[in-house]
Amino acid sequence: MVEDDGHLVIRLARSAVVLRAKLRRPSAGIGPRPGGEVQVHQDASWRVIGWRRLAELIAAELTLATGTPNTEFATQVSDGHAAFGAILRERAEGAGPEPARDWVEAYLASEQALVAGHRFHPSPKTRQGHDWLRYAPEAGARFPLRFLAVRADVLADDGDSSGLDRLGGPVPPDGYLALPAHPWQLRLLADQPC
């Protein structure tokens, strides 16, 4: 990966495909900021490719790297593309985040503003279920956390969890700890065998 004349140029090592994307600005350190269309070098010229073709090229590269096709990759990319579009439409219709009023609101607003995440934590956009948009922070969703009472002897934890005490959860019974859970996670767990 190199920066060249305002573009990020990437050579896929195993397939030898060369891609480039225009940079929004030169890299200022950790990572470049590409934006706009992606091009592939083909027949001695650069040709614009869409997100589906880009996904195909990456899937082929991953298969060459691992020796195993990832049959879920194209679907996840397609789902992510659809989810990203739904989030942008929801925000355009005015259902996006509200302006911040205090430090808690400012924090929530900053999290909700990250439509595509950030370079240290990109937001995966493949979403499961039909009602995921009502839980999408990028669309301004708000809902209370749910809490599970988990036996302390079976809960694996590491580090300081005292911050969880400030979430306003219920006091668990003796021998149990309160574990915050997203309502969407609980729905997924409900479908799992015990």
53 — phi, psi (to 5°)? -65, -40
Q: Tens digit of pLDDT for each residue in 10-66?
A: 999 999 999 999 888 766 666 777 787 899 999 999 999 999 999 999 999 999 999
88 by DSSP, 3-state: which? helix
Tell me, what amino acid is at 119?
A: R
Q: Tens digit of pLDDT for each residue in 126-170?
A: 676 677 778 877 778 888 888 888 888 887 777 777 777 777 788
Domain limits of the chain? 2-66, 73-139, 146-190
Whole-number pLDDT of residue 43:
92
Distance CA 112, CA 101 (A): 14
Residue 35 vs residues 5, 23, 39, 192: alpha-carbon distances, Å: 14, 6, 12, 40
**C-alpha atoms less than 13 angstroms from C-alpha of 119 in its C-beta half-sphere:** 8
